[in-house]
Amino acid sequence: MCETCGCGDPHLVSVEVRERILSVNDRAAAHNREHFAAHGVLAINLMGSPGSGKTAVLEATARAFAGRGGVAAVAGDLETERDADRLRAAGIPARAITTGSACHLDAAMVHHALHDEGLQGARLLFIENVGNLVCPAVYDLGQAFNVVALAVTEGEDKPLKYPVMFRKADLVLVTKTDLLPYLDVEAGAIDDALKRVMPAPVVFHVSARTGDGLGRWFGWLEAQLAARGDRDATHPAHGHQH
């Protein structure tokens, strides 16, 4: 370029875009969501730390709902079929998603799993996420609701330390309440912490071991199923062309 008069200098222009960055995952999640809606599937994304009791709650739920059919699960873990095995033993079709080293499920992994024949016909689909209180919160899977399991053994301040996860939660299950007598943990302090990260927290205290409080959780699921209406349940869960 010319050093005397600047001729030939490139021009710089400023362009306002102001757009939300919609990730590749957001697009895949929207695709899952459309199909869940089209086929009347209530999809629940169950998240929580490793060992927070996600699988135990789902086992109890599977036993309670298995008789009526139409309930299925996918279970994410880095390795092994263990959770899917437990859920099948509890009476529902279940498929494992082994993520290798990924610390969360993403919408494409769930989409791939949905083509499993064993999951066809499900009206209530649980997606048990990888045990992790951070990354799963950021990956939309196309679910209708996010449910977070938080064990009393994790302490009272987890919601304050992991606000992104709890802000995304529609419902929190405070689990393993049968252990409270052995801990220096107040159930009320957990509720208080949740109120500082969630504007209108819906919280059920449950013990999958004794069955305490599970009735409210089952009732909540029934209410969500009823709210979806009795759409034609004979559709395959995910039969479509790409």
Partner 1 sequence: MLALLERVEEAAAAHHALAVHRVCVQVGDLSGVEPELLDSAFGIVRGGTICEHAVLDIERVAARWECATCRRALDAGERLQCPSCGGPAALAAGDELLLGRLELEVP
Joined together, the tokens standing for residue 11 give: 């021009």
For partner 1, the closer of residues 16 and 230 by Cβ is 16
Of 67, 27, 65, give the one whose Cα is nearest residue 44. Answer: 65
- The DSSP letter of residue 177 is G
Q: Give least dist CB 220 to partner 1, A.
A: 18
Binding mask 60-89 for partner 1 (x = CB under 8 A): ------------------------------
Please provide the DSSP assignment of 179-232 as one string.
Answer: GGGGSS--HHHHHHHHHTT-SS--EEE--TTT-TTHHHHHHHHHHHHHHH----
Joined together, the tokens standing for residue 123 give: 């009206």
Among 1, 3, 4, 19, binds partner 1 (CB under 8 A): 19
Of 205, 223, 209, 218, give the one whose Cα is nearest residue 65. Answer: 218
227 binds partner 1 (CB under 8 A): no
Q: Give least dist CB 191 to partner 1, A.
A: 10
Q: How many residues interact with partner 1 (rule CB under 8 A)?
A: 30
Among 1, 5, 7, 20, binds partner 1 (CB under 8 A): 20
242 binds partner 1 (CB under 8 A): no
1 binds partner 1 (CB under 8 A): no
Long-range contacts: 109-115, Cβ < 8 Å, 24+?
Answer: 109/76, 110/32, 110/74, 110/141, 110/142, 111/28, 111/31, 111/32, 111/238, 113/74, 114/32, 114/35, 114/74, 114/237, 114/238, 115/238
21 binds partner 1 (CB under 8 A): yes
Q: Give least dist CB 138 to partner 1, A.
A: 4
Binding mask 143-182 for partner 1 (x = CB under 8 A): -----------------x--xx--x---------------
**Residues near partner 1 (CB under 8 A):** 10-24, 26, 135, 137-138, 160, 163-164, 167, 192, 195-200
